[in-house]
Amino acid sequence: MFSARTDKQCFFMCLAASQLLFILLLYRRGAASAFRGIFGGSPEWDYSKTQDVYTNLSLFIPDHRTVRAQYCPVSSPILVGPLTITFTETPSLKKIQLKNRYVTSGGYFSPRHCFGRYRTAVIIPHRNRESHLRTLLYYLHPFLQRQQLHYAIFVVHQAGNATFNRAKLLNIGVREALRYDDWDCLILHDVDLVPENDHNLYICDEYYPKHLSSAMDKFQYSLPYWAYFGGVSAVTPDQFMKINGFPNTYWGWGGEDDDIAMRIRLSGLSITRTPLSLGRYKMIPHDRDSGNEENSHRYTQLRNTRKNWRDDGMNSLEFHLLSREKTPLYTNITADIGDAPATPTEATKWRIF
């Protein structure tokens, strides 16, 4: 039997030992990283030391006799961390194909020595940005292979000269991608953003839409504002349907991402984000596109999101599909999405405040 006194002694000794351990940890690892170690935060990354995204990639492709027997591990063992990204030359499609020999028609890939645990569709809205698309494909294919995903890339091309409509193209991309496979995760990806760290996983959060591009170089690697949801995001098909997809009525630059962020909240969900240290992206430098002028209606539209989001989205999506084509590196969806209305429609009607 222990006496009350020995109990007390033991308590104080344990307290002293744990304090000593804590001080030692702070001393050896620095206060910030010790806190992260203890409370499970994300590690710091050293972006001055980067690796080629193709490093040893071919070594992880087994020979044809290997039989896949099990699921890939939850965390891929072949990630390299910070990646070397340069925009000095635009790679040719041929070069990208040669470096990605196991990508099949339509831009599909499945890990060859294990069963991919996650099924991810990457959807890229596009018009007149061929060189950006090639640069993105050059980095994205090996990036996704390192993550051991079962994936495919869909490029949604807006035909004609009407004003660009990013959110409507994303709606079309989702509708089309879901014809091809039972995706766990839809990645909505701007064509000019290249991820800088392959630990930024292109998989969805089970509960909430996830913003992946939380730290872009053009915003000095931080969020431009708290509710920002532009660039690259990940939603499950269920989350996407719950928010009625994206608005179809934002023609030109700006506001549609803010509308998406609002509809996420209005439908009772919230936004989760990749930590800033991991969600880093480089933007391919370019001038403002012609045909994507600032949307001057966006302020009014955003004031009406609460009223309109249930009627403007996947349940009101209309377009003419011009082609579905499987190219070696991606599935190309070309659509005529109509033109911006000359006068505001019911959904975007001006209101006097």
**Catalytic positions, written as ranges:** 190, 192, 253, 256-257, 283, 286, 288
Q: How far is the CB of 250 from ligand BGN (least distance, A)?
A: 9
Task: Write down the residue that tokens 């599935």 correspond to.
Answer: 331
Query: Contact letters (x/-) for ligand BGN, 226-245, by CB under 6 A?
Result: ----x---------------
Assess 302 for contact with ligand BGN (CB under 6 A): yes
Q: Is 258 in the site for ligand BGN (CB under 6 A)?
A: yes
| Residue 349 CB partners (closer than 8 Å, separation 6+) | 304
What H or E segment, with its residue span, contains residue 282? Answer: strand 280-283
Site string (165-184) toward ligand BGN, x via CB under 6 A? --------------------
Cα separation values, 112 from 159, 240, 269, Å: 36, 30, 36
Q: Which of these segments, 45-53, 130-138, 207-215, 254-262, binds ligand BGN (CB under 6 A)?
A: 254-262
What is the sign, positive or negative, of the torsion defined by CA atoms of 19, 23, 28, 34?
positive
Measured from the CB of residue 227, what is the shortest distance to ligand BGN in angstroms? 10
The single-letter DSSP state of residue 96 is H
Residue range at the interface with ligand BGN (CB under 6 A); choices 49-57, 153-161, 168-176, 294-302:
294-302
C-alpha distances out from residue 299 to 129, 171, 290, 308, Å: 27, 22, 21, 14
Q: Is 257 in the site for ligand BGN (CB under 6 A)?
A: yes
Q: Which of 299, 303, 311, 323: binder of ligand BGN (CB under 6 A)?
A: 299
Question: Which residues within the stretch 206-225 sit at the binding site for ligand BGN (CB under 6 A)?
Answer: 224
Only segment of 64-72, 191-199, 251-259, 334-342 that touches ligand BGN (CB under 6 A): 251-259
Distance in angstroms (rounded) separating the CA atoms of residues 195 and 190 = 11
**Torsion over CA of 101, 106, 110 and 111, rounded to 10 degrees?**
20
Binding mask 39-78 for ligand BGN (x = CB under 6 A): ----------------------------------------
Size of the site for ligand BGN (CB under 6 A): 9
Assess 125 for contact with ligand BGN (CB under 6 A): no
User: Which of 294, 311 has the CB closer to ligand BGN?
Assistant: 294
* Count of C-beta atoms within a 10 Å radius of residue 65: 5
3-class SS string, 226-276? CCCCCCEEEECHHHHHHCCCCCCCCCCECCHHHHHHHHHHHCCCCCEECCC
Residue 184 or 257 with smaller CB distance to ligand BGN: 257
Q: Work out how close the CB of 116 gets to ligand BGN at its nearest, in angstroms, rounded to a whole number.
A: 32
Q: What is the smallest separation between the CB atom of 305 and ligand BGN, expressed in angstroms?
A: 11
Distance CA 181, CA 108 (A): 11
Interface residue with ligand BGN among 255, 281, 332, 348 (CB under 6 A) is 255
Residue 248 has which token pair?
């179809």
* Rounded least distance, CB 295 to ligand BGN, Å: 8
Residue 303 is a binding residue for ligand BGN (CB under 6 A): no
Residues in CB range of 121: below 8 A, 6 or more apart: 151, 152, 153, 154, 177, 178, 180, 181, 183, 185, 186, 187
Residue among 254, 273, 274, 313 that touches ligand BGN (CB under 6 A): 254
Closest CA to 185 of 130, 233, 135, 217: 233
Smallest gap from Cβ 82 to ligand BGN, in A, equals 24
DSSP 142: H
Q: Rank residues 184 and 258 by Cβ distance to ligand BGN and give the closer one.
A: 258
Compute the C-alpha angle 124/156/191, nearest 5°.
30
Q: Does 247 bind ligand BGN (CB under 6 A)?
A: no
Residues near ligand BGN (CB under 6 A): 224, 230, 254-255, 257-258, 298-299, 302
